[in-house]
Structure 1
Amino acid sequence: MDLSIIILNYNTRQLTLDCLQSVYASTTTYHYEVIVIDNNSSDDSVEHFQHHYPSTHLIANQENVGFSRANNQGMRIAKGRYILLLNSDTIVEPDTFDTMLQFMDSHPEVGASGCKLILPDGSLDKACRRGFPTPSASFYYAFGLSKMFPNNPRFNQYQLGYLSPDESYPIDCLVGAFMLVRREAIDQVGMLDEEFFMYGEDIDWCYRIKQAGWQNYYYAGTFITHYKGASSRRKPFKIIYEFHRAMYLFHRKHYRPKYSILTNGLVYAGILVKFSTSLIKNKMLR
């Protein structure tokens, strides 16, 4: 088996069905399997997947176990040389799998790779190629300096806005919406850290993969479409909480030992301020 495609579903029945349709419509010479994990959806997702795609390996959880744990369930039964984490709100192109696997097969130094992610309006999903959220990178991003100086590498350490999205290059981290990982890299660094519930696990994984000596690579030779929730919608408290909790977990795990007590205190205070601000802004949305 060449490729194991893992798709997590949680009350996104139609999006997942559309994603699966694009997956099975792919033109590829590689052998692949599709594993869908449902996190106890309440929209009859499981029944629809069983009816429309009976060949898909389906895991139906009895509770919402989060992104990391659910994807790890899929990885434990996956048989592929490569593991692909694929969001349910994505549409792959017919050549996506062939293009990405050919790239990985010809670049054995690459532990994980991702392609270009395009939003429905045609713009780039900036999360598809990022730097690690160091204290300085996070500061420049949070306080808008990256937008003020979009072509300055110092102020754009996180979103890498100074690099062309049409070129390919090694980067720090990819996004879990499309993350193709070599089996050997997983065997070396382990699976996703289940302390992260639904954010930050992709950055943590990329950090560990790079620390182990592998390259993380943004490859612009193909693209997928990524449908994201509208930013104007009010988000559940759980989503806002887990997003900021992931910031805290990542810094505590990877950066706290490297920085002074003062720097760490400022980082944690900044996360708290941002969390509070996000809650206020969210309440103002409809």
Structure 2
Amino acid sequence: MTPEVTVVVVTHNGPEWVERCLQALLVDARPAVRTEVVVVDSASDAPTREVLARWAARALGELRVELAEENIGFARGCNLGAALGTGRRVLLLNPDAVVQVGAVDALVAALDADPAAGVMGGRTVRPDGRLDPSSCWGAPSLWSWLCFATGLSAAFKGSRVFDPESLGGWQRDTYRHVPVVTGCLLMTTRETWDRLAGLDTDYFMYGEDADLSLRAAELGLHPAITPDAVAVHAVGASSSRKAHKVRLLMTGKATLARKRWPAWKARAGVGLLLAGAALRAAGERVRASGDPVWRPLVADRSWTAGWTGTPAPVPASR
């Protein structure tokens, strides 16, 4: 029988969260709809692969594990996982996201009720129960990046005017169409996935979900968020890990600008990103930060070329 949902999880280390993710999907918050889980492991170390082997043996065919011998990145991993599955819908799920009871079924119901959405996300919360707003964002624009460059988005965090990508103070607690659904919790129909040809693999990691949502909108679809689908999403790490993540995020943003915007607009946009990084780097110098996040981005600007210019091997865990 064809599964209703193929859940795709791309892993790269982090065995503790991989354990929690699979425990929720296959046991604690097991969906009522028929579901298959496909894990694409992107060259994890032994502890993570041991977790996956144990779950594959325990799940008795409900879980398929595909082992890549190199870090193939998030976009390629998701596309491979979706291709290996046969479900009528594809759900992208971060390995550090733990779905709550009814979350997968709620995504199915919302997508069925609003087929024009095409792409459906949910509400993510942090382990302490606070809102994690990163399940969706506003569309990137020169204005939003100008606000980043000038520090307005930091000074007026959550402002609809000066921090527009944050979508204001909305708590993701009502149904709403949004410009960008993020790949930590994203469902689409198989038909829509195929029409979009999956994620753009020019993005190694970050930016590919925004690209997917924007391409869906170009097809006349209206990505949306349902508050009934809740997942706990791990947020927070050491400052050194934060520096690495910020580099990945900025590389993804630069890639999106260079791929989707006219050349003049892309140059302006990347310039604004660099200006924003420089502003924050200056703040780190004033504070004499011993473990800087932004200064390395100003010193090494290779990220401004985007992923197509800097295909560096980096972790696939988002």
By the TM > 0.5 criterion, same fold? Answer: yes
Whichever residue aligns with residue 32 of structure 1, its letter is T
Unaligned runs of 5+ in 1: none
Q: CA RMSD in A?
A: 2.4
Aligned to 1:268, the other structure's residue is in SS state: helix
CA distance in 2, matches of 1:19, 1:241: 26
**Given residue 22 of structure 1, which amino acid in structure 2 is its aligned partner?**
A
The aligned counterpart of 2:174 is: 167
Structure-2 residue corresponding to 1:154? 161
Equivalent of 2:193, from 183, 186, 189?
Answer: 186
Aligned residues: 281
Answer yes or no: is the 8 Å Cα contact 1:11–1:45 preserved in 2. yes
Q: CA contact under 8 A between 1:22 and 1:93: conserved in structure 2?
A: yes
Q: Distance in 1 between matches of 2:177 and 2:50?
A: 41
Deviation at 1:81, TM superposition (A): 1.1
Provide the residue aligned with 2:15 in structure 1: 13
Which residue is 1:251 aligned to? 257
Q: What is the match of residue 45 of structure 1?
A: 48
Q: 1:278 to 1:35 in 2, by over 3 A?
A: farther
Query: Where do residues 221-236 of structure 1 align in structure 2 (5 Å cutoff)?
Result: 221-230=228-237, 232-235=238-241
Q: SS in structure 2 opposite 1:215? A: coil
2:107 maps to what in 1? 100
Residues 109 and 214, structure 1, Cα contact 8 Å, conserved in 2: yes
| In structure 2, C-alpha distance between the alignment counterparts of 1:164 and 1:233, rounded to whole Å | 26
Assess, with a 3 A threshold, how the Cα gap between structure 1 residues 102 and 65 changes in structure 2: closer, same or farther. same
Runs of 4+ in structure 1 off by over 6 angstroms are 277-280
Residue in structure 2 matched with residue 22 of structure 1 by the alignment: 24
Contact 1:125 1:226 in 2 (8 A): yes
Who is 1:272 aligned against?
274
Shift, 1:62, TM fit:
0.4
Question: How big is the shift at 1:209?
Answer: 0.9
Which residue number in structure 2 is paired with residue 241 of structure 1?
247
- Where 1:99 maps in the other structure, the secondary structure is helix
SS of aligned partner of 2:145: helix
CA distance 1:33–1:140, change in 2 (3 Å): same
CA distance change for structure 1 residues 150 and 50 in 2, over 3 Å: closer, same or farther? closer
Counterparts of 1:139 and 1:189 in 2: how far apart (Å)?
30
Distance in 2 separating the partners of 1:224 and 1:131: 20
1:104-143 to 2 correspondences below 5 Å? 104-143=111-150
2:88 to 81, 86, 93: 81
Q: CA deviation at 1:211?
A: 0.9
Whether contact under 8 Å (2:117, 2:224) holds in the other structure is: yes
Q: Give identity over the alignment, percent.
A: 24
Cα deviation 1:152-193 (Å, max 9, x = unaligned): 533342110143422111010011110111112112121111
When normalised by structure 1's length, the TM-score is 0.89
Q: CA deviation at 1:124?
A: 1.6
Aligned to 2:290: 284
Deviation at 1:147, TM superposition (A): 5.2
Q: What is aligned with 2:77?
A: 70
Aligned partner letter, 2:82: M
The answer on whether the counterparts of 1:240 and 1:278 sit within 8 Å (CA) in structure 2 is: no
Structure 2 CA distance for aligned equivalents of residues 236 and 125 of structure 1? 16
SS in structure 1 opposite 2:180?
coil
Deviation at 1:238, TM superposition (A): 5.7
Preserved CA contact (<8 Å) 2:145 2:273: no
Match of 1:145 in 2: 152
Against the structure 1 CA distance between its residues 68 and 276, is the aligned structure 2 distance closer, same or farther, given a 3 Å change threshold? farther
- 1:223-255 CA deviation, whole Å, 9 max, x = no partner? 11101232x420387644332221111011112
Give the direction of change, closer, same or farther, for the CA distance of 1:207–1:80 in structure 2 (3 Å limit): same
In 1, the alpha carbon distance for the partners of 2:240 and 2:156 equals: 30
C-alpha distance in 2 between matches for 1:214 and 1:38: 31
- The letter for the 2-side match of 1:177 is C
8 Å CA contact 1:67–1:197 kept in 2: the answer is: yes
Once the two structures are superposed, residues 119-163 of structure 1 have per-residue CA deviations (whole angstroms, 9 ceiling, x without a partner) of 123222222121111111222245443455567533342110143
TM-score scaled by length of structure 2:
0.80
